Amino acid sequence: MSLACLRSNRDVPRHSDCDGFRKTDADKSRERRKLVTVGEGGCGKTCLLAVFTGRPFPQQYVPTVLHTYVTRVHIGDQTMLEISLWDSPGQEDYDRLRPISYPNTDVVLICFSLVQPDSLVNVVERWNPEAEHFCPRVPIILVGTKKDLRNKVDAVEDRRKPVTSFEGRLVAEKIGAFAYLECSALTMEGVHQVFQTAVIAAVKMSGARRPQRSAYCNLF
């Protein structure tokens, strides 16, 4: 299956639309997949989804409650895939609301910030256990965000060292991720590859068990 021509078409966002997308008679035959992003509040999930769907990079941080978007991508030259993108809240105040986003998910993006080392720790302690609980047979892609800030000392939380690619890959192996990638929503570096990989995972792994930890695929 070729994904060389993966392209995103802009669509109107649907906020708190619990079915992810509305089905019409005209699009019943179109293949659909559902993607959910999880991770700490402020780690870059919303920015990643915004720029992928053709929207401006958000200039201010506004905590997400629960937003959904629908976009269509072309796989190769002919096949069109409709993707429901769920932007879930990362704050603990919304722990009871977030499970609404998980049913019928085809792929989970666990995001963390490369300049917030604690957000990677929480991948292991919080986000992966939650994803495994609600989506036990669903492939997970680990995504390091804010890559453009990695080499800017003032941007790293508490002046600590930023997360290295090696550290990210170790965590990806530990949680049995389908892939590990890094990106910057601001510069668009790696954004296309994140969603290209997500589509591969959603299509190929639908209905299958997540890969064993030894089968981890490093695409960074």
For the segment 58-93, what is each residue's pLDDT rounded down to a tens digit? Answer: 876 655 666 788 888 877 666 788 999 998 876 665
Rounded Cα distance between 80 and 131, Å, is: 27
**Higher-pLDDT residue of 32, 142:** 142
Q: In the chain, what is the greatest distance between 2 CA atoms, to the nearest angstrom? A: 54
> Residue 118: how many CA atoms within 13 Å on its side-chain side?
8
Strands (E), the chain: 8-9, 14-15, 31-39, 67-75, 79-87, 107-113, 140-145, 179-182, 217-218
- Mean pLDDT over 14-43 rounds to 62
β-strand pairing of 107-113 with 31-39: parallel
Mean of pLDDT values over 202-209: 70
Tokens of 109: 């993006």
Residue ranges and CATH numbers for the domains of the chain are 8-218 (3.40.50.300)
Q: Which two tokens stand for residue 63?
A: 């905590």
Kindly compute the dihedral angle of the four CA atoms of residues 146, 149, 151, 157, in this order, to the nearest 10 degrees.
-90
Q: Which of 24-33, 93-102, 168-177 has the lowest mean pLDDT?
A: 24-33
Query: What span, in angstroms and rounded, lies between the C-alpha atoms of 177 and 213?
Result: 7
What is the C-alpha to C-alpha distance for residues 207 and 39, in angstroms, rounded to an integer? 24
Lookup result for tokens 């989970």: 108
When pLDDT is cut at 50, 70 and 90, the band that residue 152 belongs to is confident
Closest CA to 193 of 171, 220, 170, 165: 220
Average pLDDT over residues 178-192: 96
Residue recorded with tokens 């708190």: 16
